[in-house]
Structure 1
Amino acid sequence: MGIEGVEESGGTGVPLSKFRYNSPFVQVSLIGLVCFCCPGMFNALSGMGGGGQVDPTASNNASTALFTTFAIFGILGGGIYNILGPRLTLLSACSTYVLYAGSFLYYNHHKHQAFAIVAGAILGIGAGILWAGQGSIMTSYPPSNRKGTYISIFWSIYNMGGVIGGLIPFVLNYHRSQAASVNDATYIGFMIFMSIGTLLSLAILPPSKIVRDDGTKCTDIQYSNVTTEAIEIAKLFTNWKMLLIIPAAWSSIFFYTYLFNNVNKVMFNMRTRGLNNVFYWGAEIFGSIGIGYVMDFSFKSRRTRGFVGISVVGVLGTAIWIGGLANQLNYSRSDLPEKLDFKDSGSAFAGPFVLYFSFGLLDAIFQRMVFWVIGALADNSEILSRYVGFYMGIQSAGSAVAWQVDAHKASFLSQLVTNFTLYTVSYPLLVVLILLAVKDEGKADVEEFTKGKVAEFTEEKLLSLQPQRSDRNDRRLN
């Protein structure tokens, strides 16, 4: 039977409502809400610098443990998702976020970092499989010509978590202008949101049940097995497409350590950090919408849209990093600036605030552009979950290194220059990837149509010959 008047073999040309429970729009929105509650709140917690503590040592070590296990399970995450399916994968993954926030509530009282480090390592496992599953849903459920739009929808919802999460420490610490660390209520607020996201993950459907608005089904998946996934994941390390992705993946959140610890934490007081994060993650929403338009609607040719998207990111990214360099020359690790407050610092607050906001825009457009490129490499959900898992694993390995670089007191300027260089190197490699591996939608559609027609013609010929053979056999028998 078809679904809502749609034949199982494909679309009828009659558009379906995008508000159906099994539509890509609803499912991508749901995974956006899950990430709003879990990694969105985690981003707000990390964005305060030092996990909201006066001494960032515990947070740096916990983050190193987190991104070390994330690097491993990010790569394995696509295979785990293909074996377990979305609900079991996401439910187990989201619960690790609650534990991590709870570990900092514990640290607020006992100052023992062992719990935070262990919780960070466990969260790395959960985050690895969560983001592999999320990436597969976000890039394989929508139709190929609207992937940029759906990526923007997801990131806009997800980044609202950072906005709301930024409001939590801002509101709860508003009257504590001299506070060095956040209060217990801040961590409890994060834990409540993370628990809601954990339960909401049960609403995600597997790809075999998704029907797009034109009536076509998402690629069916027969869930895989450990041996198959191990072999396919190992192949990723010799896949030239994935090798070209490595610099972009490594650099994509490498700069978080520098930005959150050495800009937001060093330059601003506690309540202003929370306000900064509201605007930082708000900037991500605007950036997501803007780059989504460029990647889906700016030109008819998909490859042209990719080239334009990389050009936009490259120009804006270079300008923002130059602005960051100008700001960094004003202070150093041995010559820290006076803390800025959004109410009391006057015009001195404006420049660093705009810079921090601009980094939010850059984070959005860079990561969304890279996800669009990954999504353009394949339409099969199984393959994409492995690609996304590989990307997240490399991304997390870079972040683990970055947190330890800061923990070992590397100069602020050297960290900035390293980040600037990594971003710049990734742009031409992404251009090569689009040039060699991304097909225009028209060409891909023609190839698929031709294959289908050849298969139909062959089947019809074989069927037409069967009666003739039967007639010949009858004549021989007579």
Structure 2
Amino acid sequence: MDGIAKSPTHTQWTARSLDHEQTITPAGWKYRSIKLGPIRLPWYASPESQLLLVAFVCFLCPGMFNAINGLGGAGQIDNDAEASAASNSALYATFAVVGFFAGTVVNALGIRIALSFGGLGYCVYISSYLYYNHVHKDGYVIFAGALLGCCAGILWSAQGAIMMSYPTEKVKGRYISWFWIIFNLGAVIGSLGALGINFHEVDSNVPVTDGTYIAILVLTFIGACLSWTLVDAKHIIRSDGSRIILMKHPTWRSEIVGLWETLRTDVYVILLFPMFFASNWFYTYQFNGVNLPRFNVRTRALNSALYWLAQMFGALIFGFALDFPNVRRTNRAKIAWLVMFILTFAVWGGGYVFQMQYTRDHAPREYDWTDNGFIGPMFLYITYGFYDAAWQTCVYWFMGAITNNSRKLANFAGFYKGIQSAGAAIIWSLDRRRTPYMNLFASCWVLLAGSLIIALPVMLLKIKDTVPVEEDLKFTDEIIEDVMGQRMVHNPSRRSRFE
């Protein structure tokens, strides 16, 4: 237990009495807060500051990826959308494999290396479309997608572990909300940039310009560099003086055992796997089955900006609602499930009415924002974005409510992104084969509704009002017992290997 309360440089304890609580933090610039007028900013090595930095890394890397893919066909015209579908199929196929072991990689390599490596994959991916704009050969595009799958699996596992394990139980929802708002702001700005560059382009039969790809390429590279400003998890101290629960300097053997222990001790997480699978399934339909065939290039950019802006509002509303202090956490989990079930039928019911108006082979003329009748489809696309943020926020919150152990949550995040990506790889492949839009739409609706029903026992039985520290530490002890044949607490002389 002393490994949680102790600082990395000084012996540091949280002194408590009946009348007051005082936290003594270590010396050094990382633990020095800055006061700006009436506002006191958190210290650099605080969960708040680190989450903000991670959010901006994702703002510049996955955020820009979402901006370019939100245009439909990654900014290419409908006839060339197959290159995007092939690239994303490769991307999510490798992501699905890497995602299962990404938590192990992150725990072994550390947050900074993991995020930086992940960010570089986004740079290569964007550069491939700049290449494709001139050469129109998809070899490099497919390679870039496969490489990004490896990189993104590691980046998102690191991000998920930080977002779910750094905050205390009372504020996990708002941490997820803050992250999702900043992350999606990247996609909004990227989409607005594409809109500005293509503002006067009303022809549907042209791709986005080179300038769009170059600008986004530069931003993704900056995001990869920003990763190196983070501090290691062992240096993070919360405002109450508590530390992040983690095992330091793990061996590869202990990490692989930890992956197995996560499934063995928390077998009920399998009930969340269908929700993981469905969580990126609908993007392909929304981007390539709605935005690409029904809107011209500048209107697609506007729709994309509004889609990601709606995600910011969805994350804000759901993140703070999930932390509402006057309702027990067990009840909040049940209410969140019910709201998502209702939203699933409301939003996708509207989508069914719109999809009845066209097919892949017979679609009316593309909408421009000056056309009559544009408002309805635009509003539908906005609700799709809102729904996505609600879904992702709830899934992260559900996982974070199960445990506070950063190692277990890194594995949860790895499972989440791996299974999510397996689903995405399948539906991108279906799109490449020109599966009818109505079939893709129906698969989205059925998966979302069905996965909620399968996950219901987790909401009813496994989410508690609080998770005792002893329960999280027990998981770490069991891993060490399996690796070394004895418990850490029974052999203090060996603890330095893991701390």
Distance apart, 1:298 and its partner CA? 5.6
Pick closer, same or farther for the CA change 1:144–1:111 going to 2, 3 Å.
same
Q: Using the alignment, how far apart are the partners of 2:469 and 2:143 within structure 1?
A: 49
Between stretches 297-306 and 329-338, larger displacement belongs to 297-306
Whether the 8 Å contact between 2:262 and 2:408 is mirrored in structure 1 is: no
Aligned mate of 1:198, from 219, 224, 231: 224
Alignment of 1:440-451 (within 5 A): 440-441=465-466, 444=468
Match of 1:34 in 2: 57
Whether the 8 Å contact between 1:94 and 1:197 is mirrored in structure 2 is: yes
Map Cα deviations across residues 342-372 of structure 1 (whole Å, 9 max, x no partner). 1x213x1001000000000000001100000
Aligned mate of 1:376, from 398, 401, 404: 401
Is 1:356 aligned with 2:360? no
Distance apart, 1:317 and its partner CA? 2.0
Distance apart, 1:241 and its partner CA? 2.4
Alignment of 1:253-272 (within 5 A): 253-272=280-299
What amino acid is aligned across from residue 296 of structure 2 in structure 1?
Answer: N
Is 1:410 aligned with 2:442? no
Is 1:114 aligned with 2:139? yes
Is 1:340 aligned with 2:344? no
What amino acid is aligned across from residue 426 of structure 2 in structure 1?
Answer: V
Whether the 8 Å contact between 1:6 and 1:215 is mirrored in structure 2 is: no
Q: Using the alignment, how far apart are the partners of 1:398 and 1:405 within structure 2?
A: 11
Pick closer, same or farther for the CA change 1:5–1:324 going to 2, 3 Å.
same
Q: Using the alignment, how far apart are the partners of 2:407 and 2:384 within structure 1?
A: 33
Q: Using the alignment, how far apart are the partners of 1:390 and 1:177 within structure 2?
A: 42
Is 1:230 aligned with 2:253? no
What are the ranges of 5 or more consecutive residues in structure 1 without an aligned counterpart?
449-478
Is 1:174 aligned with 2:225? no
Q: Using the alignment, how far apart are the partners of 1:11 and 1:370 within structure 2?
A: 36
What's the RMSD between the two structures over aligned residues?
2.2
Whether the 8 Å contact between 2:167 and 2:175 is mirrored in structure 1 is: yes
Map Cα deviations across residues 196-240 of structure 1 (whole Å, 9 max, x no partner). 101110112222111112221222431322222223324555652
Q: Using the alignment, how far apart are the partners of 2:437 and 2:179 within structure 1?
A: 33
Give the match's secondary structure for 1:56: helix
TM-score normalised by the chain length of structure 2:
0.86
Aligned mate of 2:211, from 146, 162, 185: 185
Between stretches 152-161 and 313-322, larger displacement belongs to 313-322
Pick closer, same or farther for the CA change 1:79–1:11 going to 2, 3 Å.
farther
Distance apart, 1:314 and its partner CA? 1.5
Distance apart, 1:431 and its partner CA? 2.4
Give the match's secondary structure for 2:323: helix
Whether the 8 Å contact between 1:11 and 1:214 is mirrored in structure 2 is: no
Distance apart, 1:19 and its partner CA? 1.9
Aligned mate of 2:84, from 44, 59, 80: 59
Map Cα deviations across residues 114-162 of structure 1 (whole Å, 9 max, x no partner). 0000010000000000000000000101111110010101111000011
Match of 2:451 in 1: 426
Pick closer, same or farther for the CA change 1:10–1:241 going to 2, 3 Å.
farther
Whether the 8 Å contact between 1:37 and 1:197 is mirrored in structure 2 is: yes
Distance apart, 1:164 and its partner CA? 0.4
Aligned mate of 1:397, from 387, 401, 422: 422
Distance apart, 1:425 and its partner CA? 1.1
TM-score normalised by the chain length of structure 1:
0.89
Match of 1:470 in 2: none
Match of 1:331 in 2: 358
What amino acid is aligned across from residue 288 of structure 1 in structure 2?
Answer: A
Distance apart, 1:328 and its partner CA? 0.3
What are the ranges of 5 or more consecutive residues in structure 2 without an aligned counterpart?
24-32, 34-39, 473-499
Q: Using the alignment, how far apart are the partners of 1:32 and 1:362 within structure 2?
A: 20
Query: Number of residues paired by the alignment?
Result: 446
Between stretches 419-428 and 60-69, larger displacement belongs to 419-428
Match of 1:48 in 2: 71
What amino acid is aligned across from residue 332 of structure 1 in structure 2?
Answer: T
Distance apart, 1:14 and its partner CA? 3.9
Whether the 8 Å contact between 2:8 and 2:235 is mirrored in structure 1 is: no
